[in-house]
Amino acid sequence: MKKPKVVLINPPSPWLLSDREQPPLGLLDIASFLRANNVDVAFCDLAGLPEKYWWIPDGDIYGVTCATPHYNIVVKIVKIIKDRQPNSVVVVGGFHPTVEPERTLRDTKADIAMVGEGEQAMLDIVNGKRDSIIRGALVEDINKIPMPAFDMVDMHDYVKMGTNLVIGPTPNNKEAKLMEARGCPFDCAFCAQAAISKRRMRYKTVERVVEEIKHVHNRYGVDRIYFINDTFIVDDKRVVKLCSALKELKEQGILYDWHCLTRADRTDPELFRIMHEAGCRMVTYGIESGSQKILDIIEKQTTVEENMNAIKIAKAAGIKVRAQMIVGLPGETQETVEETANFIREAPADSFGMHIFVPLPGCQIWNDPDRFEFPIDKETTFDYYHTIGKREEEDAAYLHQNPKQIIEWKNYLVKVIGERNIVKFAEVRASDNKDMRDAVMSSGYVQ
């Protein structure tokens, strides 16, 4: 019996500065896993496309990924498919259906809501499983998933440099986003990561990470890597081992530099020295707030002093710092906003991202709004569920009881950030800025 054809769909993210910066790695992992099991897979990448340009190929089973900001777009995508092919099987997976499966089925009219990780679950669906809610188990050994199916999207577009030009250019000016691990052991109250990962870390082997870096370098000319898993430094010994391999790639001319996300309570100066020697040129910290009151409310398990120290330690090692900040978290007041403003003024970070708090389904604040004194309309249409977005994007303020105040606070903090606002680095892609790149390279600004 012939296996059904699967079409995997990546929705657009129109609120983002560019949704052509980060390839849909989760879907590409599923695609590679299905192909390894002899499933006929097509990929429909709608990122960056307005609705009038959507084209969805024919298939028997459709898998649509859905984060909460995608929700209303996914409703439209499912309707298009069902109007055209009412007997097809439509599966909606990702963070949002993982925490809101029943509502996802109700609103989208999809056939199946997938909860959790999707590789084996999609294969089960191909093989005939038809429960309305299918719970995908965590992949214990993520090295068994083949390399993401990079060939199924336009990687030449996805490797263009964007916001990370703040580090400086590279010879090829091409950057790939890779995940060297899945999960996060922490459970910050504003973050929904634990809904899927269950606070468990699973790592790719160093050999597998090297293989992926060599692949994107040889095929797409990539010379900068951004490790986008939530926290790069969890196991210090692993980081040292990985850095040894990254240093070799750097010496071979395969890797020019790299950067990562990590927590501000991971600040061993010797480890940062090793990272810099291996080519690390920036770390991004989720600082969130300059107010200890707010950090305690959101259970960040860090202090203002630690956050400031983390920035200084990275800088002392020769590593640039991006600090991600959030305004409007539970407990925010004029006083806490001013504390954040003072932190920004004093912190020697190279760039800041300023974002309005969004109570994502699955986070502690969504699950228990009374405890955090943050009223949530759980029948919301999700219209305003935009996260990191354009300079003028302020829709998320309307999820708050005091939207006008939230917008005023955000604008004030953006003004304090001034020229260190990360948004300005994204508004002109490096690939379209050759003159600046050449000037900076000749000046010896980088390495």
* Better-predicted residue by pLDDT, 22 or 130: 130
* pTM of the full structure: 0.92
Alpha-carbon distances of 7 from 92, 101, 145, rounded to whole Å: 12, 21, 19
Residue 438: predicted pLDDT: 42
Contacts of 262 (CB under 8 A, 6+ apart): 231, 232, 233, 283, 284, 285
Query: Average pLDDT of 303-316?
Result: 98
Band (392; pLDDT cuts 50, 70, 90): low
Q: Is the pLDDT of residue 93 over 70?
A: yes
Three-class HEC string of the chain: CCCCCEEEEECCCCCCCCCCCCCCHHHHHHHHHHHHCCCCEEEEECCCCCHHHCCCCCCCEEEEECCHHHHHHHHHHHHHHHHHCCCCEEEEECHHHHHCHHHHHHHHCCCEEEEECCHHHHHHHHCCCCCCEEEECCCCCHHHCCCCCHHHCCHHHHCECCHHHHHCCCCCCEEEEECCEECCCCCCCCCCCHHHHCCCCEECCHHHHHHHHHHHHHHHCCCEEEECCCCCCCCHHHHHHHHHHHHHHHHCCCCCEEEEEECCCCCCHHHHHHHHHCCEEEEEEEEECCCHHHHHHCCCCCCHHHHHHHHHHHHHCCCEEEEEEEECCCCCCHHHHHHHHHHHHHCCCCEEEEEECCCCCCCHHHHCHHHHCCCCCCCCCCCCCCCCCCCCCCHHHHHCCCHHHHHHHHHHHHHHHHHHECHHHHCCCHHHCHHHHHHHHHHCCCC
Q: Please, are residues 259 and 165 in contact by the beta-carbon 8 Å criterion?
A: no
Band (33; pLDDT cuts 50, 70, 90): very high
Query: Pseudo-torsion of CA 181, 240, 218, 11, nearest 10°?
Result: 20
Q: Which of 1-15, 45-59, 302-316, 379-393 has the lowest mean pLDDT?
A: 379-393
Q: Please, are residues 60 and 6 in contact by the beta-carbon 8 Å criterion?
A: yes
Residue 21: predicted pLDDT: 82
Q: Is the pLDDT of residue 174 over 90?
A: yes
Give the span between the Cα atoms of 67 and 20, in whole angstroms.
16
Residue 426: predicted pLDDT: 62
How many Cα atoms are found within 13 Å in the side-chain-facing hemisphere of 358? 22
Q: Is the pLDDT of residue 294 over 60?
A: yes
The domains located in the chain, with CATH, are 6-142 (3.40.50.280), 159-443 (3.20.20.70)
Band (391; pLDDT cuts 50, 70, 90): low
Residue 140, burial from CB neighbour count under 10 angstroms (0-12, 13-18, 19+):
exposed
Residue 65: predicted pLDDT: 98
Q: Is the pLDDT of residue 4 over 60?
A: yes
Per-residue pLDDT of 425-447, as tens digits, reads 665 543 343 443 343 334 332 32
Give the span between the Cα atoms of 305 and 323, in whole angstroms.
14
Residue 439: predicted pLDDT: 36
Per-residue pLDDT of 97-148, as tens digits, reads 999 999 999 999 999 999 999 999 999 999 999 999 999 989 999 999 999 9
Give the span between the Cα atoms of 392 and 16, in whole angstroms.
11
Q: Please, are residues 269 and 317 in contact by the beta-carbon 8 Å criterion?
A: yes
Q: What backbone torsions phi and psi does residue 14 show, to the nearest 5 degrees? A: -65, -15
Q: Which of 36, 39, 74 is nearest to 60 (CA)?
A: 39
Q: Is the pLDDT of residue 20 over 90?
A: no
Per-residue pLDDT of 230-265, as tens digits, reads 899 999 999 999 999 999 999 999 999 999 999 999
Query: Average pLDDT of 39-44?
Result: 98
Band (197; pLDDT cuts 50, 70, 90): confident
Three-class HEC string of 237-304: HHHHHHHHHHHHHHHCCCCCEEEEEECCCCCCHHHHHHHHHCCEEEEEEEEECCCHHHHHHCCCCCCH
